[in-house]
Structure 1
Amino acid sequence: MQIGPYRIDPPLALAPMAGVTDKPFRLLCKRLGAGLAVSEMTTADPRLWHTAKSLRRMDHAGEPEPVSVQIAGYDPAMLAEAARCNAANGAQIIDINMGCPAKKVCNVWSGSALLQDEPLVARICKAVVDAVDVPVTLKFRTGWDRGHKNALSIARLAEDAGIAALALHGRTRADKYEGEAEYETIAAVKASVRIPVFANGDVTTPERAKQVLAATGADALMIGRGAQGRPWIFREIAHYLATGEQLPEPTPDEVAAILLGHLEHLYAFYGEVPGVRIARKHLGWYAKDRPENAAFRGVVNRAETAVEQLRLTRDYFTALSVGERLAA
């Protein structure tokens, strides 16, 4: 698919997830087959741009093209200035957050709370599009709750304002991440606009990916929680869509190499102490499908240093690898 001058190939994107899609994880998912990786949301409030957290989120040095940065806020002028600032800082695509269901975001009239005010949505989209020369995309949900679903009108407002592509999570804000994603709404949105559409929600396997594309007619898929602990899902889906064949599951040795490299990058990016802490959730996700998950999580969560965390992780996967060879 195409967003402005950028071809997204394969048409698979890593969804923006606060506290997850930092630079180390974006680079990893890009290397493992994502055609696009969207940053964590960056606040539009300029008073917070110079905090350590914001500066890390605005670090895109060495990222492969296209660099997509998500901004969040409620004021059109403030969002326009945030778009200009991020474009000057290397963003090649600006994404507007109207999908986050978190209370702390919605309570300040940002994220999916904006879906309750369609005129404000239109003003925000136009202000951001007019502010920058790079493509602007919109991530949103099907509505505020099941009694107030307005994805079709939001999509048309966005297209009229010059938005270059849409990413629609097939749930309302009230649904959060529960229940089944409603692909029929994504299909209706795709049929009603001329701009590209990402289908988002419950894409967790190559087979499901193919089903979602068929059900929605979407141009591409956006994957969030399905990539947590399985960043190789992008290459698996790309291969399945291209050939109809499943790639073999990565071996424990392959998973260990991916994970240990990820941990090293986290330590380098954040520093050892915060890097060790942030790594714990990734370690839990990597191990979640393993029967030994509870024991592994208990061990690695006790690690206080990078050396100890790396050693425990390496030992765990070495034992898995030996076990598989003995079983074979």
Structure 2
Amino acid sequence: MMSTKPLEFEQPIAELEAEIQKLQAKSSSQDIDMSEQIASMEEKLRQTRDEIYNNLTPWQRVQIARHTNRPFMLDYVVHGFEDFCELHGDRHIGDDHSMPGGFARLGDQRVVVLGHQKGRDTKENLKRNFGSAHPEGYRKSLRLMKIAERFGLPVITLIDTPGAFPGIGAEERNIAEAIAFNLREMALLKVPILACVLGEGGSGGALGIGVADRVLMMENAYYSVISPEGCAAILWKHRKHAPEAAEAMKIAAPDLGKLGLIDEVVLEPKGGAHHDHVQSAENLKVSLLKQLKEIQALSTEEMIQQRYDKYRKYGEWQGE
């Protein structure tokens, strides 16, 4: 049964679940055998779920990626990693709570894990700045990556942001430079880097921790230079055209996989990761360990060269 608030396109599923609950309650309270009717409704529910979730549009995937009950970065750390020890501060300005990170263990492998963290209520969202990192967040993330390099530990970045924070303070502290510096340094880092887009992968805010040997995406995440609403406002002059923008930009994980811009789509439980945090984290853990094993088979020189070649190929066009 759906335990979270249904999205608009999930209403047929929610209505069938409500009908089944009514039948079960009636059968129990009045001691009537309604097993045949319940079984019929459950089969209809299964078919409806398959029809909806097997044919999700890019815009529907964006809605799932933004679901407030979706697991965030620290949820994946809790369920997929062990012995997490958070480190704080960028040693310049302060500590950015929207970009936590530290030492952890993934299976038998010691790693450094970092990423964007959103909040589920007003208080936590204010603390986490809605997952939009400041310059000190990116500088902290690079400091942690350099620590990882010093100790020979793989780096895992978990991306989930609508974009870097665009405020005046962030501009004054040079957020563009902080992100650009990360891009260069991550391209040259001498340890394996794995990145996974958990939900939203928005613009340079995502790319600031997204240069990696392998880029993964959760099945219902999106990765884009601009939000569908932003694109719609520019091209169609109205945000109501966001669904068309999402389709045109090919921002969903299945499309990006076909285009060769990501390396693996990590499957989610039916209906989205918010229905089962533990299973989602386990799926990601399996994928990360598989990809990490492949990268660790390379020499440092081969790894860095492949990372460089990977990004040089982006944007290549082959005519017929």
**TM-score, length-scaled by structure 1:** 0.31
Asked which structure has the greater CA Rg, the reply is 2
Structure having greater relative contact order (Cα 8 Å, sep ≥ 6): 2
**TM-score, length-scaled by structure 2:** 0.32
